[in-house]
Amino acid sequence: MNSDPTRGGIPERGAEPPSYLREGTTVRSWLTTTDHKRIGILYALAITFFFALGAVAAALIRAELVTPSGDFLTNDEYNQAFTLHGIVMVWFFLVPSIPATLGNFLLPMMIGAKDVAFPRLNLMSWYVFMAGGLLALFAILAGGVDTGWTFYTPFSTLYSNSHVLLAALGVFVVGFSSIATGVNFIATVHLLRARGMTWMRLPLFVWAMYTTSLVMVLATPVLAMSLLLVVAERAFGLPIFDPRSGGDPLLFQHLFWFYSHPAVYIMVLPAFGVVSEIITCEARRRIFGYQFMVYAMVVIAVIGFMVWGHHMFVSGQSAFASMVFSFLSFVIAVPSAIKVFNWTGTLYRGQIRFSAPMLYALGFIGLFTIGGLTGLFLASVPLDVHLTDTYFVVAHFHYIMVGGSVSAFFGGLHFWWPKITGRLYSERLAQFAAISMFFGFNFTFFPQFIMGTMGMPRRYHDYPPEFQPWHVMSSVGALVLGFGYLWPIFYLGWSLFRGERAPANPHGATGLEWQTRSPPPKDNFDRLLVVDQEPYLYHPKESTPDEVEQAHAKQKP
């Protein structure tokens, strides 16, 4: 079907070593592993736990909001629920989701390396992650936090009576695991590419990981710093944000968003990578405009650092600053739009199959487009004045981060599942999950655009009754969405034990990770790789997938 990019490789040894899963099966062997694939799995287990925790909080919130008045949560409990949801989902699920699991597993394989550049640092990052997670869990068990995931001062430093210090420290610590992963990926891509794997032959997933890592390494220290300042004022009374002692409460918002806007791209660039891999493979086509796709990601990563002020249009920052931030926010919309067009262009004249990963990827395009377009509303200063801090914003970032990133994560999980586990899942059941997630998602979050436009403020435990119909819709949608998330547990779990054994390359994909066994051996490849081709050679340049398909068919008896 496609020419073998490992052509010219030298066989290393005769006897096949066992797969990475068989290389030691004790708990100890897992907890002390430096194999990037196993660390990816350790991360996957950890973030699955946090995803479940965040989802429980979301369920509580949606249940509480079915009626306008408080039902079974007190004001404080409600505030803790959305704070928990935000903190856990952002830092303990979304930020590590694709990079630390799929990225860890795939990045070295995709560039033909045996492991990441610093395998022990990689393992350490997981322990740091767990330490941060434990601190955050401890904050929850001790009685919760009620600042919102944004930790706005001076509320968080002077007025909140909850466990802000523990939670802030948890997030502070987990930041170091991001930085470690980022440093590791950057070094890996620079140092460990196989012979012939030039920068412009890198799969887009690798580019996505690389740009994400740059953002992680540059932005996360700012988060660490701003959280330390919160700790300094709250625990030691150092006047930093308190205006009564000459501090500036807005300073925190500037620092926080200087990290948190780029963090949006930490969450969404990896999704771009996953979707590019899936769409090319399932449409059997080269990616449309490879170079533009690469530049778009680089531009997004850079300009992403210059738009943080769009979160502060009503905060009291100067009108001029708002105008500049508004302008840059419109500019950054362009490369994102380019990506959407290019994915669409990739479908043109393809041989599209609607496997579950492809359904997730197509869903991603739709939801990301809506999320991006509503971002334009919020980038316009006069409109943002009305819409910010309402459910419109809530809907907007869920479209990007849940509709976008989480869909892509699930798509990637399915796509590489055979490689990771060596088993096939039931395609039918998976397609059903992808479709219910898409509809459940829209059902949950589209009504939030409407009520947000009508003025429903976010983080409200009680609300005026005229918003109730929209809240009810949203909560019912959440049931469908919840099903879409739970259902894969069953068939994926089943496939682990009963699933059919996966061949090396079940999708007929071109990436190097598919040129080895499923599941791969500990050192990833049985022989040395030499790359002499661009990525995504689903069809030679001058022909179309159709011709390839036919030529292929003729060879078969």
Partner 1 sequence: MMPEASTLAPRIDHLFFALVGLSLVIVLLVGCLVAGFAVRYRRGSKAQRGQLPKWITRDVELGWTAATFFVAIFIFWFAASMQTSEFEIPNNAMEIHVVAKQWMWKLEHADGQREINTLHVPVGVPVRLVMTSQDAIHSFFVPAFRIKQDVLPGRYTETWFQATKPGTYHLFCAEYCGTDHSQMTGGIVVMPPAAFARWSEGAAAQGTLAAQGAVLFRQLGCSGCHGKSARVRAPSLAGLYGTRQPMAGGGFRQVDEEYLHDSIEQPQKDIVAGYTPVMPSYQGIASEGDIIRIIAYLKTLKAGGRQ
Q: Which 227-286 positions form the footprint of partner 1 (CB under 8 A)? A: 243-244, 246, 249-250, 283-284
C-alpha 177/C-alpha 274 separation (Å) is 22
Quick one: which of 220, 388, 407, 495 contacts partner 1 (CB under 8 A)?
A: 388
The residues, any chain, with a CB within 8 Å of residue 246's CB and separated by 6 or more, are 239
The token pair that represents 161 in the structure block: 């009576």
Stretch that binds partner 1, among 19-27, 90-98, 151-159, 171-179 (CB under 8 A): 151-159
Q: Which does 457 bind (CB under 5 to 8 A by kind): Cu ion, partner 1, none?
A: partner 1
342 binds partner 1 (CB under 8 A): yes
Cβ proximity to partner 1, 291 vs 555, nearer residue: 291
**Nearest one of 98, 180, 71 to 132, comparing CA atoms:** 180
29-88 binders of partner 1 (CB under 8 A)? 75-76, 79
- CA 204 from chain centre, in angstroms, equals 15
Residue 338 binds partner 1, judged by CB under 8 A: yes
**Cα angle for residues 498, 408, 384 (degrees, 5° grid):** 150
Distance CA 102, CA 223 (A): 24
Q: Does 1 bind partner 1 (CB under 8 A)?
A: no
Q: Answer yes or no whether residue 366 interacts with partner 1 by CB under 8 A.
A: yes
Sign of the CA dihedral 519, 522, 525, 531?
Answer: positive
146 sits near partner 1 (criterion: CB under 8 A): yes
In angstroms, give the least distance from the CB of 311 to Cu ion: 5
310 contact partners, CB below 8 Å, separation of at least 6: 261, 325, 326, 329, 378, 379, 384
Question: In this chain, which of 251, 352, 528, 537 binds partner 1, going by CB under 8 A?
Answer: 352
Stretch that binds partner 1, among 108-116, 197-205, 381-389, 474-482 (CB under 8 A): 381-389
Encoded one letter per residue, x for contact with partner 1 by CB under 8 A and - for no contact, window 448-467 reads --x--xxx-xxxxxxxx---
**396 scored as a contact of Cu ion (CB under 5 A):** no
- Each residue of 111-123: b (16+ CB within 10 Å) or e? bbbebbbbbebbb
Give the footprint of partner 1 on residues 289-318 (CB under 8 A). Answer: 289, 292, 314-316
Cα distance between residue 290 and residue 534, in whole Å: 10
Kindly report the backbone phi and psi dihedral angles of residue 90, in degrees, each rounded to the nearest multiple of 5, phi listed first.
Answer: -75, -55
- The CA dihedral of 314, 260, 378, 438, to the nearest 10 degrees, is -140
Residue 261 binds what, of Cu ion, partner 1, none (CB under 5 to 8 Å, by partner type)? Cu ion
**With CB under 8 A as the contact rule, which of the stretches 115-123, 168-176, 362-370, 494-502 interacts with partner 1?**
362-370
Q: Is 517 helix (H, G, I), strand (E, B) or coil?
A: coil
Does the footprint of partner 1 cover residue 544 (CB under 8 A)? yes
Of the candidate residues 21, 238, 337, 537, the single one contacting partner 1 (CB under 8 A): 337
If the CB atoms of residues 11 and 382 are measured against partner 1, the closer one turns out to be 382
Which one, 180 or 216, has the nearer CB to Cu ion? Answer: 216
Residue among 333, 474, 457 nearest 393 (CA): 457
In eight-state DSSP terms, residue 422 is: S
Instruction: Show contacts with Cu ion in window 219-278 (CB under 5 A).
Output: 261
By beta-carbon proximity to Cu ion, the closer residue of 62 and 261 is 261
Contacting residue, 138, 305, 377, 487, with partner 1 by CB under 8 A: 377
- Exposed / middle / buried, residue 498 (Cβ in 10 Å: 0-12, 13-18, 19+): exposed
Residues in contact with Cu ion by CB under 5 A are 261
